[in-house]
Chains A and B, each alone.
Chain A
Amino acid sequence: MAVALEAPNIDTDQIIPARFLLKPRDAGYANLLFHDHRFTAEGIHRLDFPLDCEVGEPVRILVANENFGCGSAREQAVYALSDFGIRAVIAPSFGEIFRLNCIRNGVVPASVTCEIAAQLRALVNHRPVRLNVDLQTRQIVAEAFQTRFTIEESGIERLMSGRDEIDDTMVHEAAIAAYEAKREQILPLS
């Protein structure tokens, strides 16, 4: 199921407050997602945030507005989304560090135009809707509505491959070593 977040410029401080950033990865980040919007200062679950509205099935997709995930680089924001169960975020634009963090953590950042994002948010707000985001075809399908999203090819590969990025890069180790040797001659830096 999908929910909509209307506001533009939702920053990563909202997605996960800084005081939670020191928790180790295996502590689980699900309850920290949009924490201060969903829990009172006393820790009571408020249930009026879009993520908590009854939609019958787990929320897997967010439809957002411009510049989603702007601000601090904290990758923990994506841990929180992922641990909560979010598999894709659809938006006209993203904080770029956040967008790259999504790709590295199995969350699809799907870029659409402002108009399409607004249409999707309106659709989702009207009543609970199941969206389908297909990474291979770059398509979003919602009942009768269908549209395409953009994401770079290397992003799709990273999301789908499950290979370790460091292993992939070390295929180029000779080039890295050669660059280092050359650089040392031109401009030693250590």
Chain B
Amino acid sequence: MALSSSFYRNILDAHTLTENASGDRLVYVDRHYIDETCFTCFDALDARKRKLRRPDLTFAFADHVVPTAGGRNAVTSAEVNFVLDRLTADCTAHGVELFAMGSPGQGIAHVSAPEQGLTLPGLIVVGSDSHMPTHGGLGALGIGIGLSEQTHVLATQTFWHRPLRDLRIDLVGRLHPHVTAKDVVLTIIARLGAAGAIGYAVEFAGDVIATMPVEQRMTLCNMMVEGGARTAIVPPDKLTFDYVASRKRAPIDEGFERLAAVGRRLLPSSDAVYERYEIFDAHGIAPMVTWGISPQDASPIFAEVPDPEDCLDGAERDRQRRALDYMGLSPGMTLLGMPIDTIFIGSCTNGRIEDLRSAAAVLRDRRAVVPGIVVPGSQAVKRQAEAEGLDKIFLDAGLEWRDAGCSMCVSMNGDFVKPGERCASTSNRNFKGRQGPGSRTHLMSPAMAAAAAVAGCIVDVRELD
């Protein structure tokens, strides 16, 4: 019998051990994904004389600081060497599986874990990266936590969670060709604002979702974080279970049947009630580009840079003024034709095989007129792309073909955008200085970034001849 509440609520209830007087739930964690910053947590664990409770449910990914060219030997920074060595040492000492540089399964946690079948529908997965909600694309409840909470998970395999309110976002109609999940989520954030979904768990529904490929569902859930959501999820369906069935580490046979049964039991019923609803008509969604310093500063490709003087709120007006000043833009400038200096195709948002196929389709038999890098989200994605000849397309176009990692999204690994340069980027944040001090980020889809590479400026990929 289906439960009469949201998918988020059903998963939460199924994982709740107890509740405190404030209503916080003690919640069990099925998967804990750790990265190179976890040495702080292992030190804290040792200081408290605690053991790692479930090494078998803990998985480590070297992604944020890894160079994307030259391998481990390309690391020159003492700090980066330190954290990579610590990750190896801590994982060895505690019996944690590590997807290290040089290992076939290495990649960005939010790309590697789903593709390997570690993330599964109905599970609760946590980690210290704020884009944990990406796993919602596979019907898993992904929640980002801080280092202190991570230490708590290492010791207890649980975390304390204050229940969120439910926001159902329905995507109705059909998307136009070349309009992707990236454009959908930028449209959502542009309307709701970066603070719009604070306090909510987002559940996606509607015709568009029903036919949206799993990888794009991950893009959608990934960036819903930028609208303030603590988590985002797509209840699993046939597409989800077909994806999972082909994954190396996913349960098989009876184990798979049980997983599917548990997942089905947790699905929201058709009469489930959500506290808030938002509806988006897919027909109205165009390729999107950000112009400012928050993901909410996003507009359709045919739009102009807005005028901050139109803002009613003084603080927002000042923020937009400073955004335009930082980005070197003026009100009324068209997004079309805005010069681009460099390209970044990759990240946990758009670094999967379908994203690379989308970019390659635009770059086939064309040349990039500006430099750029294509960074697969995982080494498995890289191998798949090479098997399909996508790497040749990127190289023939004049772009660099790299190894997997977070790379220029967060610029902790030596890949960065130079001060004052404009980057057409498939990542998730256009914050000031995010891609390097003084860098100017324009977020967009892989196809749009590829089109920008060809044109040397922001263009409408649908018009590229």
Contacts and interface: CB of A to CB of B under 8 A. Distances in A.
A2 to B, nearest CB: 17
B145 A71 contact: no
Interface string B115-130: 0000010010000111
A141 interface: no
B148 A101 contact: yes
A127 B396 CA distance: 61
A17 B128 CA distance: 16
A24 B42 CA distance: 12
B433 A172 contact: no
Contacts of B157: 176, 180
B22 interface: yes
Given A24-B40, A176-B28, A73 B160 contact: no
Given A14-B432, A21-B37, A153-B21, A93 B148 contact: no
Contacts of A71: 130, 226, 429, 431
A100 B17 CA distance: 20
A187 interface: yes
Contact of A97 (B37, B120, B130, B155): B130
Contacts of A23: 79
Contacts of A144: none
A189 B30 contact: yes
A162 interface: no
B299 interface: no
A190 interface: yes
Interface in A58-94: 65-67, 70-73, 75-76, 78, 93-94
A9 to B, nearest CB: 5
B72 interface: no
B158 A169 contact: yes
Interface residues of B, number: 74
A179 B156 CA distance: 12
Interface residues of A, number: 58
B315 A183 contact: no
A44 interface: no
A38 B160 CA distance: 36
Interface in A1-39: 6-9, 11, 13-14, 17-19, 21-25, 36
A7 B322 contact: yes
A169 B322 CA distance: 45
A175 B28 CA distance: 10
B70 to A, nearest CB: 19
Nearest to B58: A190
Given A104-B146, A186-B258, A189-B57, A73 B128 contact: yes
A21 B22 CA distance: 32
B322 A21 contact: no
Contacts of B82: 22
Interface of A: 6-9, 11, 13-14, 17-19, 21-25, 36, 41, 65-67, 70-73, 75-76, 78, 93-97, 100-101, 104-105, 118, 152-155, 164-166, 169-170, 172-173, 175-176, 179-180, 183, 186-190
Given A153-B22, A166-B155, A189-B120, 19 more contacts: A8-B195, A8-B319, A21-B412, A24-B40, A65-B315, A67-B195, A70-B194, A75-B148, A97-B146, A104-B148, A118-B315, A154-B24, A154-B160, A165-B152, A172-B18, A186-B262, A187-B258, A189-B30, A189-B31
7 contacts: A14-B431, A67-B198, A96-B230, A97-B146, A153-B21, A166-B152, A173-B156
User: Nearest 9 pairs between A and B by C-beta?
Assistant: A190-B56, A154-B22, A67-B195, A75-B146, A101-B146, A104-B148, A73-B130, A75-B147, A22-B79
